[in-house]
Chain A
Amino acid sequence: MSAHQTHTDDHAHEAHESMSKSKIWKVFFILLFITVIEFIIALWAIPGHHMSQHVGNYVYIALTLLKAFYIVAYFMHLKYEKLGLQLSLTVSFIFIIYFIVLMLIEGGYLHLHMPKV
């Protein structure tokens, strides 16, 4: 543990400088490209029955998480921070995932058992 962390300590500052202008624009074009794919799915693939809404929803969520990764990792610079900080900021989302699963199951139950109004 100690050897690894003292090593990254010296490394962090170098990486800090590496978010150059060209890298920023590269990330921007990746984000733009992902958004364009989402629009193609929404305006062409689903209306034209090339993809079902159900499959489309999973693709949307995957692309959204990918966009979130690029924003957090590069724009918010988390990729170049220490592992400890990265973990303390991301691991707690386990609770959010658990909450999502719980509430969607609850919603699904109500879907079957509530009067249709």
Chain B
Amino acid sequence: MDSLSKLDQVKTTPWAGGRSPWSVEYGKIMMWFFLLSDAFTFSSLLVYYGAQRFSKFAWPDPDLVFQSIPGFADHGYPLVFVGIMTFILIMSSVTMVLAVEAGHRRSKKEVIWWMVATIIGGLMFLGCQAIEWTHLHHEGFWWGTNPASGLKEEGAIKAALQPFFDGDISFVSAQQFANLFFTITGFHGFHVFSGVVINIIILCMVINGTFEKRGHYLMVEKVGLYWHFVDLVWVFVFTFFYLV
């Protein structure tokens, strides 16, 4: 075998040029790398949360902070409401994959139906989060304030914070918990909100028949990636804020 034919052989490999080595469309690769950078952002927020929690001698007990079911019971049901939220988000992730699957079959009607279901799921999640935030706000938690803010006497501070702690109480921990809870779930909620907006835009394009003319539903796959990422982040937020 002479060297020229060897060269031809080398050229057939995926990285020899002339074709996409990952055989993934450009926009999809860019979505993946955007999500990677976004994952780093969320990681840094959660890592800071972890470092704060490790550094404190006491931390609010999630089972005591989150124990209401709005419109049903004010306390005594830890994790139930957030369980419903988690279920809604996983469910909307499933409807999103089903939209992608229908897109592979180029069934416009099914894509529309599953996209609508996904958007409804996203809006339900946002509604639940708004209720959750309102509830915590009424208890006195917000950025920069906690139930014991403004109190001077040690006894009054202890009385205000004791319902949220199992054992020792810490004013600084209660404040850091509030700041981080609203920042991290807020940043996640903002992602859910923008995901819903992008889903609505794509839904309009599906209804207009843009992707039918284009011959493929790759755009649905791309927003699908974003939507699943939002679900993925929630899995981590749920564990570190509500379970651990």
A contact residues vs B (CB 8 Å cutoff): 1-2, 5-6, 9, 12, 16-17, 19-21, 24-25, 28, 31-32, 35, 38-39, 41-43, 56-57, 60-61, 63-64, 67-68, 71-72, 74-77, 81-82, 84-85, 89, 92-93, 96, 99-100, 103-104, 106-111, 114, 116-117
Let me know if B14 and A68 touch, CB within 8 A: no
Q: Does B194 contact A (CB under 8 A)?
A: no
- 7 tightest Cβ-Cβ pairs between the two chains A and B: A107-B54, A110-B55, A107-B51, A103-B51, A2-B13, A107-B55, A64-B239
What DSSP secondary structure best describes chain B's contact surface? helix
Let me know if A89 and B36 touch, CB within 8 A: yes
B48 to chain A, nearest CB (A): 7
- The residue that B86 contacts in the complex, of A35, A103, A117, with Cβ under 8 A, is A35
Seed contacts A38-B243, A106-B55, A116-B57; 17 additional CB < 8 Å A-B pairs: A19-B97, A21-B98, A32-B87, A42-B63, A42-B243, A64-B235, A75-B224, A76-B228, A84-B14, A85-B24, A99-B47, A100-B47, A107-B55, A110-B54, A111-B55, A114-B55, A117-B170
Q: What is the number of residues of chain B that contact chain A, defined by CB distance less than 8 Å?
A: 59
Contact indicator per residue, chain B 207-219, by CB within 8 Å of chain A (1) or not (0)? 0000000000000
